[in-house]
Structure formats: structure tokens, C-alpha cells
Chains A and B, each alone.
Chain A
């Protein structure tokens, strides 16, 4: 291996190679983005298929109909009487109903505090024990009292109750069925699933008095609309962009579309003519949701625990009634009930662009990796460059890297300590914004943000001044190169790691940070001013502001969302913004503005 590298290393001597990296990394970015836009084409995306044979979706006849509708109406009356009641009253009313069905019920209290608000409530859940089973496995049916848009789940809750009553009559269940009724769609399910896996903080979330076996899957009903519906909207994004097993989505698509003749929509694409633009839009929406990493429904908090879950939401004007919705869920439960092993066959990393087309990780990952790679390439290039004596990079005197240096080791020897120190300092500084924005109460967020933005613009010049006025020998171009090299290396490293956890977030951050690759200290004032302006415009704060205004909200609410998600669901997008992107930006800023100091001194010497 060393010999291979050695022969490759010969190239390093060639000065032309050193001109290459910027273009190379530019190429990487361009290819990476272009790649993304190729994906919706038929050649690159695949038709979905079911790889877990045990699921057998749509193979069973569903009997949920007839007089069960009478029961549904009755339950609906009960639920309607509870609208605008307090959480405790609701549970007091629902619990006896569930008990009458013959289920074991229990309750759980939770209280979260985030961004100065308190999110508290009481979960009600009931376990339908598998008739011949032994509490080893379970499936969850979630019906949140309110969906993410805070509409009361007026049809979902009665439907869930009726379904459980219907399920009780069957003797074929091989897994327990858990009905979970939560006051809201984010905190409640999170608290419950945390406590179910004993990953909860007892001071905020009560432990569960009643438990069953391993959770094999979960389906959430979000059925607030009163009129008859046309098709079902499948919401599948989990916290931090984790996704449920593709087989689950496929089986539901199969059951709803194939068996019941109900359309299926994804990512709020209500109308989808399987064309390029619609596919692309679906994919991009999916990526954006994934990148933000927020909880998109009651199912989201299950997915991090390797419990595959989706939310089903009827929409549109049609002739399908609650019973049809019930049959869809019945069919899905029968499929999950068939499972012998935990869902593991199909894909966990995919981008859906239509209900029956997807791209798997192998196809799309390169685009994010290329974007991440451009930073690494630049970092290596800068490293090599910093190894060369500053005087002349002319090809004739073979510019040596220290590996086989002719000069006495002190000159071309890299002085690593200052650059390392600077990068480490900036990285450690990044804790401050993270802490501030995650712990400030909502009221303070706006002023805090703007003060931080101002400080943020002042920070790079201040740091570069500090560097130039160091007691030690003035920081050389090499050291600036090294600073940038290290920060880019870190950025590339974090992003490529992130790409495996949350592809979209990595890609978005990478694209936003990509200009940092090319910014360098410029000699001419015009270029420097331009660079400075560009630098300011791509600063995280500016981008946040722009994004907030584009989506018509204010920064405070964005930050609040982030803080809430961070405290309740453990969304790590804020960490990425403040501890990955921001330090890289600051470091680049230092480098870009840093050149100035040296030149000034040079001028002073001449005059």
C-alpha cells in the first residue's frame, strides 16, 4: 500500500496539480447537485416492491363494516361531547369506554419544558392482549387528540375505539395491540415511547405501569376532516430524518390503492401526475422535511427506536367513509400481524418521489458525499500548499513538501500549533450559540438573535486582528492556509458522517457552506470587499433570517421550533447548524479577513 501511495505522491511534485483542486471541488459540487436532479428520471429511480414476504399486503378480506358503523357513530357522539374539555376529563370519559371493550388500560403523565413553555399532559393507553399470544410482540395504534395542526382528531379517535372493539372479536392476533391516545402529536407520543423503552427522564415523564412486548410497528390515525374523503396521505418522516422501513409504506400503498381503491399521496402532493416535475417536487419536499429533522406527526417519535411507523391522514373530497379508512388500517394491521421477524428486509434509506417510485441510498448518497468531498479535497490541497516555501511556487525549483525537504527543517516545517489552537477555539466557541438558543425563553429569542447576528459579523475581523497582534511572529499565509485546511477537513468529516445519519441535512448544510471552499484572502481591495460581502450573506444567521422570511415566519418561531424539538424529540439540527456550519464559517472569515493585516504591515514597511 505505501508503494502505491508513494507513486501517487510523485504527482504532488507537479505544480500544475496544485492549481487543480479548486476546479476539482467546484466540479464535485456541480456534479453532486446535477446528480440530484437526475434522480427522478426513470433510469435512476426504481419501482417499489415488497421484499418481506411475510407481509402479504392486501391478501386478506376485511370485514370492518356493517353494524360497526353504528358503534362508530355512537363513539363519535361521545367524542364530540368531549371537545374543548380538559385532558384529564377526556381520559376519564374515554377510559371506561376502552375498559368496556375488554382492554387493560393505564395512564401516563408527562411534563416538558422548552423555550419558556411547558408541554404537559396525560397519555391514555390500552392493551388488547393477543388471544393466544404471550406478551412478546405488540403493534401500536396511535390516535392523538390533536394533530400537528392542532385540529381535534374528531373521526380518528372514534375510529380507533371502534377498530379495537372489532379487533377484540378476532382470535387470530399473534401480537398484542396497543391503543395509544395522546393529548397532542409530538410530546405525548414521545413521552410514551421513551417510557416504553425506559429512555425517559423520570422527573419529566412518568414510567409506564403496564407494558407489553417488543413493538413491531405503529400506525397513527390523523382523521380530523369531517366530510367523506378521497385519498390517504401517508406521513412517514421521523425525528432527525430517520425513515420507517420502506416495506411498511409499500404495504399500505398496496392495501389502500390496490385493495380498497383509495389513492395515496406523499409529502402533501395532493395531485401527482407521475411526471418529472412532480417527482422532483415530492423528492425535494421530502428532503427538506428530512433535513429539518422535526417530528411530522404522532408516528415520528417511534422511528428512532427502530419501530417502523407512519401516520395516515385522509384528505380530499370523495365518497370514501370512515369504514373504508378503518378497513385500510385493518388490512395494515393484518399485514403487520403476519410478520415473523422484525421488519429488516427492505430499505431504511430512500427518497420517495411518487408512491411507487424511490431511489435507494446507493443511488443518491454520492451527491452528498461529493459535496462533502469537495471540502476534503480543498483541505488536502491547502495542506500540500502550506508545505511549500512561500517565496516561490515556481515549477523549476521543485517545491518540496517537508517529507523530503532540502531546506533546513525549520523553514518549511509546518507550525501546527497556532492553526490547531485557532480551530479548536472556534469549535469550542460554538457551544455558546447552541446553548443560548436552546435555553432562552421564547420572548428573548428575537433580541438575542439580532444581537448575536451583529456580534457574529464582528467576530471574524476581531479574531483576525487578534491573530495579527499576537506577541509571536506574525501569522504567515501558511498558517492561514492551515487554519482553513483544518476547518474544511473538520467540516468535510462531519458532513460525511452526517450524510450517513441524515442525508438531506448533510446535503443542505454542505451546499450552504460550499462557498467557504473558494473564499480566500484577496490582495485587491475590490475583491476583498466582494469576498467580505459574500461572506456576510452566507453566514448562518443571514441564511436563517432569509429562510424565515421566505417561509413567512419570524426567526423567533423558527428558533423556538428548534429548541422545542431539541428538548422533546432530541432533534440535532441545531447542533449541526451551530457546531458544524458556524465554526467553519467563522474560520473562513478569519482567513479571508486575515490576509489584510499582513499586507498592511507590508505597506507600512515600504512607506
Chain B
């Protein structure tokens, strides 16, 4: 391995470690990669690319960093602010703690899109929305055009504009989600094409489909918002973010041989303290701290920087305790930040950046940052079985011992899930420890009543629109709340089922927007129109798979024929009796079986005669 020299310096950089971004219109293009080792040998790599363009240039169609293709779409569809998410996998909050960017840059599984459109009427908004989705689906090779009326909702309180908008413009927020969409390379390529350096230079060179889509969790985000810094001209800011959690062990496997064959017995890390330990018996020590380098993880080092990027912003930052030593390739400047948990690396446009995190000596207790606990844990699952009806149960756990969490829980459900709102209830999980039952029940009852504060509900219309449910609720400190409601699965026309009807239908993730404390009450007082201020934290539950009853797709003709026959039998029978008149059995012409029998007898007699002769 080539010789690396540890490099130490104490230079003050005006840079805040990740998560918080100054929304000031500074220099025109930034890019930065933040690396954060996580427990269980995982590595969070979050790429961030940000560029601004002034309105005047934008209006003139004079794009420098701002991608022209996207810009024209925005102008055409009258979009003021746009947020687009491609996500895959799930964030393991138990192990990895709080989400990057406080969850502001991620979406539920699949594709999620919400935008503020300039429109006076709903019809106009729908029209522009249609234009927007179709154009974007072309641009990103995603089936965004399937976001039709049944998948579009207009959230009331969950989303707030991030940018600064003039008060007078009347904008409409539309929200669409495609939980079934599988994000893959064909979405990444156009994403990179939007960058000024087109992924040819700078940190974007690390972005490679094989690595990105082998990640345990990944989210690609595009945010476009107008920003008006005081005293300067308003700028339109586009921010592209890619967050991914890589399994170090898995990523280190060579590309040509990804199969996890068992290690040779002697290389297996064993717990030698076990009494039965021997050459052929080995109690494994998993997730042993191992060293990794950028090129092992991403397949290649960072090839210089993007020349267009603002050089004052360090291209790569790593978040490990300052005590830990990191090796970097030569002429790379490392700067530790005074916060003591992060360091950044500066390189010149030509040089390569290779970075190696050696295996920590086992003595070192804090080899990685302990992840901060999120404000809320949420887990959603179906209850019940069978294809007739079911229930949805969301378990919301507030880990903080003293602070209560107030948030907005938003569900967008397809119309064929008929939810029964009157069955919706939130209850605090009662601790068995509590003493006398009656008292406890009474207490838990009035607690339960106060859990749900406001409900914004728009029922689904068959084949026209989906259910939109926004619940503003709070979870008391250090307690777990169950939010449950029932729904009925409706049976569709056989042409309305997808080809894999028996797989079931994906139900979009629930969006949970935690209100920053203090503003919650204000919003509550303000009532229905409550514009609760910027969310403190976002999270999304996993999506669900809802299996509907299916008809037999193979036999429309048989069904039509059988039913018609049944109807014909009844109709014929009834009108037969109605129109015919009665006669005695021996009157009138012979009919029915008797005739046949008579004929038969005659035949036989004749035959018999014939035989006799």
C-alpha cells in the first residue's frame, strides 16, 4: 500500500458540520460529500450539490449552473417550488439514529413529488400538474406520468414552502407519490446529467449505479426553491442530494466476485475465549471494526474537484472523533473542525483524494460518533388477515424522557382502501407496572382523548381520488402511542388490476412532520388554517403491501354466459307460466316426456312385429 502521511493542522474554516445549511445565496455552485461511519459497520455517505441562479437570468433563459432542461420545464409548468425524491430501502433508526438533514431530504420508498404551482383555480393547477409530471417523467425516465388524479392530493398542513415567496402570489401545493416505482440506474443517469460537471469530475465521480443501488438505504432528492436574501436579488436555488447507507463489508467485496462465499476457516474472526473453541469450531465475532478506504467502498478515489465548484467549500468531510487518525493521500489538506467530531479535506482540482480509515485499536471506545437519538420512532403495519377488511396500526414511540413531541401524521391512501374514520383511535400503551386498574384506565382515557388534536380528512371517491388524511397529534414524553384505524378492501373491475394482481397493491409511506416545539401550540390556536412553521424533523414509515380480493381473470365470457343463463331461466320460467293457459293433462296436444315415451313404445312395438314376421 502506498505510503500515506498523517496530516494535522488547525485551520479555522467557516463551515458548519452537515445537517444545517445556511440558506443564503452565496457563491453559485457548491458540492460536498459527507461521510459518517455508523454502527454495525455501516457508512452514511451524503452528497450535496447546490447551485443558484438569479431570477433575472432565469427569466431570460440564461442558465449557467442551473440545468436548462429542468429550468424550461419549471417555466412551462409555472412551478414556484419543486421537491422530487427517489428512495429505496429503509432507514434503520434503531441502529443509525437520527436521519441526515433531519429527514428533510428524503422520501418514502419509490418516487415522491410535491410542488407549489402558480394557479388561481384547481383546474388550472391540475392542468399544470399534469404538464409537470409528464415532463419530469420524460426527464428522469421514471413513470411519474402515472401520478394521476387518484394519486394526487393537496396536503393542508404537512408541507410548508421552504423558499421565500411573495405573499400575493396564489400558489397551490400538489403532492403525488408512486410507492411501487423501483428506483434504479436509469434514474441516476439523468440526475447526474443535471450537475454542472455531469458527474465527470469532483465527488460525483464516486456515484456509480452498482454501489448506489446496492446500498442498504438511499435517497436521491432534488429541491428547487426561490430564496430572497435581504437586500440582494432573489435567486432560484437547486439542491441535489444523494444520501446512502453502505454496508462496508458488502461494499468492500470486489466487483468481479460479489458472492459472499464463506471465509476460509482460519480467517474467520473467532471468540477464542469459548472453551470449545478449536480449529473446526468457531463462535464468530461479527461486525469486527475493519479498515476501509474510499476506493474500496466506492470502487475509485475522488478524481479532483469540479472546477466550477466554489473552492472555499471543502469537497469531502468525514465525521469521526478528532481523536481518531485518518490517512489521506498526499497534498490533501485536512482540517479538523472545532466541534471535535468532524474534519474536512481540501484538494486541488487535479489531485486525487484517497482516504483511509484504519481499524481502531480495540482499546479505543469512541471510534465512531454515537448516533443521536431521533425525536420519534414510527412503525406502521397492517392488522388482521383475509382480503375483505383490515386495519392499519402505527406505533409511535417518543424516546425523550421529558419533552413531548407534536407532529402531523399524513396518509395518502388509494381509493380502493375504504377507511372508516370513525374507527380511528390513538391510545397510549399502558405500562403493566402501574398500580390500580381503574384509576389507570381513567387516566389513560383522558390522556388518549388529548392525543389527537386536529384531523384533516378528505374521503376517497371511487376511481376519482384517493384518501387524504392528516392528523395533528402529540406523544407524551417517554411513551408509546398506537394509532389504529380500520379499512375495507374493495374489489375492482378486472381491467383495473395490474398484471401481478396477486402481489397486492403498494400503499405509500406515511409522512410524519414533527413541528418544532413552541410553534406547535401557536399552530393549534390558529386552528384549521394553521401554517405550522418549518418542520423540525421529518420521517417516513415503510410502505405497505395491501392484497385485494381478485376475480378470476380467465373467464369473463363464462361469467357473462352463466349469469345470462340464470337470468334467462328465471325470466323464461316466469313468463312461461304467465302467458300459457292451463288444460287438463289429457286435453290438448301431447307434449314433453310423454310424447317421447309414446313414440319410443310405438317404435319398439313396430320392431317387435318386424322380428316376429
Contacts and interface: CB of A to CB of B under 8 A. Distances in A.
Direct contact of A and B (CB under 8 A): yes
A23 interface: no
B442 interface: no
B286 A136 contact: no
A132 B89 contact: yes
B557 interface: no
Contact of B262 (A67, A129, A199): A67
A7 B593 contact: yes
B247 A131 contact: yes
B569 A1 contact: yes
A341 B282 CA distance: 39
A73 B385 contact: no
Contacts of B573: 1-3
Interface stretch (B123-131, B213-221, B291-299): B213-221
A171 interface: yes
A158 to B, nearest CB: 11
A74 B213 contact: no
A198 B383 CA distance: 6
Nearest to B261: A63
A7 B382 CA distance: 56
Interface string A60-97: 00011111111101110110000000000000000000
B503 A71 contact: no
B543 A199 contact: no
Nearest to A102: B40
A272 interface: no
Interface string B224-263: 0000000000000000000000010110000000011111
Contact of A74 (B215, B274, B384, B577): B274
B384 A198 contact: yes
A209 B33 CA distance: 37
Contacts of A211: 379, 381
Contact of B260 (A71, A136, A170, A212): A170
B545 A213 contact: yes
B88 interface: yes
Interface in A7-47: 7-8, 10-11
A134 B542 contact: yes
A259 to B, nearest CB: 17
B265 interface: yes
A342 interface: yes
Contacts of A344: 502
Contacts of B570: 1
A171 B210 CA distance: 12
Interface string B260-285: 11111101101000101100111110
B135 to A, nearest CB: 28
A104 interface: yes
Nearest to A208: B381
B262 A10 contact: no
B89 A71 contact: no
Interface string B183-211: 00000000000000000000000000000
B262 A135 contact: no
A8 B274 CA distance: 85
Nearest to B265: A67
A101 interface: yes
B569 A132 contact: no
Nearest to B281: A73
A197 interface: yes
Given A2-B573, A7-B592, A66 B261 contact: yes
B433 to A, nearest CB: 16
Given A165-B286, A340-B500, A10 B268 contact: no
Contact of B592 (A3, A64, A137, A213): A3
Nearest to A213: B545
B216 A131 contact: yes
B371 interface: no
Interface string B488-502: 000000000000111
A417 B3 CA distance: 104
A129 B542 CA distance: 12
A132 B262 contact: no
A66 B286 contact: no
Contact of B385 (A6, A63, A104, A199): A199
A317 interface: no
A171 B250 contact: yes
B262 A66 contact: yes
Nearest to B258: A171
A600 B270 CA distance: 92
B90 A134 contact: yes
Interface string A130-153: 011111110000000000000000
B504 A165 contact: no
A306 interface: yes
Given A2-B576, A340-B503, A77 B281 contact: yes
Contacts of A104: 94
B155 to A, nearest CB: 22
Interface in A397-424: none
B547 interface: yes
A77 B592 contact: no
A69 B286 CA distance: 16
B391 A198 contact: yes
A104 B542 CA distance: 16
Contacts of A77: 274, 276, 281, 283
Given A100-B286, A171-B250, A341-B503, A135 B90 contact: yes
Nearest to A212: B381
A214 interface: yes
B109 interface: yes
A344 B552 CA distance: 12
B215 A132 contact: yes
Contacts of B264: 66-67
Given A73-B280, A74-B282, A6 B545 contact: no
Interface of B: 40, 88-90, 92, 94, 109, 213-216, 247, 249-250, 259-265, 267-268, 270, 274, 276-277, 280-284, 286-287, 379, 381-385, 391, 393, 500-504, 506, 542-545, 547, 569-570, 572-573, 576-577, 592-594
28 contacts: A2-B577, A3-B592, A6-B592, A10-B592, A10-B593, A11-B593, A63-B259, A63-B260, A66-B261, A67-B262, A67-B265, A67-B267, A67-B282, A70-B268, A70-B281, A132-B214, A132-B215, A134-B543, A136-B542, A169-B249, A169-B250, A197-B383, A198-B385, A199-B385, A211-B379, A213-B381, A213-B544, A342-B504
Given A69-B280, A340-B500, 4 more contacts: A100-B284, A198-B385, A341-B500, A344-B502
Nearest 8 interchain pairs by C-beta: A169-B260, A66-B262, A341-B502, A74-B283, A197-B385, A70-B282, A136-B545, A198-B383
